[in-house]
Amino acid sequence: METVGLVGLGKMGSGIAENLLKAGYLKAVYKRTVDDEIKKLEKLGVYVAKSPEDLASKVDYVFLSIPNEAVEDVVFGKKGLINGLKPKSIVVDTGNCDPRQSMRIAEKLKARGVYFLDVGVSGGPDRAQKGTLAVWVGGDKEAYDRLSKILNAIGKPQHLGQSGNGHKVKMLHNLLEQEQMQAIAEVANLAVSLNLDP
């Protein structure tokens, strides 16, 4: 069976991990600090990697659920994924990342025979837990086709074409949400000025 490693177990990552584990794909995790969640996964038979390189060497696919500023170091750093990835591996970045960075990383990994998919996810920790995230994927179609069954474990995947498109759509989605919140705030202020209880 195909195996997945996950780097990052924050609010979104822990829900993603839970659903990948339920579906039988999660084999390894890496987090800089060992905490109760890591210990719990270890008791369930998940390998706790010593570094991103160690994690990459144990699995077919690597999911990232980490901040934008950490991605390049986790992928290309001293003990980064690049040193442990097998040819034809797939790295899946589910963070809120800069699409230009995603395209850069995809090109660098492609030169090493590894695929990179930028995957914008939406729904918050609650839907991450339920495995019902919106999942917008940019990158190589062949890699997406290989991974779509696994992505179904975390939500409803859609392939949106070339590298960067998954994170572009996530960026636009975030912008739309912010505009809605601003509109709600404006309407609440207007309600107060009209002597209404907002």
User: pLDDT tens, 65-115?
Assistant: 999 999 999 999 999 999 999 999 999 999 888 899 999 999 999 999 999
The pLDDT, as a whole number, for residue 145 is: 97
Burial 24-43 (b: 16+ CB within 10 A, else e): ebbbbbbbeeeeebbeebee
Q: Taking 80 as the threshold, does the pLDDT of residue 175 lie above it?
A: no
Residue 88 falls in the annotated catalytic set: no
The pLDDT, as a whole number, for residue 89 is: 96
Judged by average pLDDT, the poorest of 50-54, 63-67, 148-152, 179-183 is: 179-183
The pLDDT, as a whole number, for residue 174 is: 65
Token pair in block for residue 169: 């759509």
Q: Are 90 and 115 in contact (CB under 8 A)?
A: yes
pLDDT-derived band at 173, boundaries 50, 70, 90? low
Token pair in block for residue 65: 């659920």
Q: Which of 27, 31, 168, 170 is catalytic?
A: 170
Summarize the confidence of residues 122-145 as an average pLDDT: 95
The pLDDT, as a whole number, for residue 150 is: 97
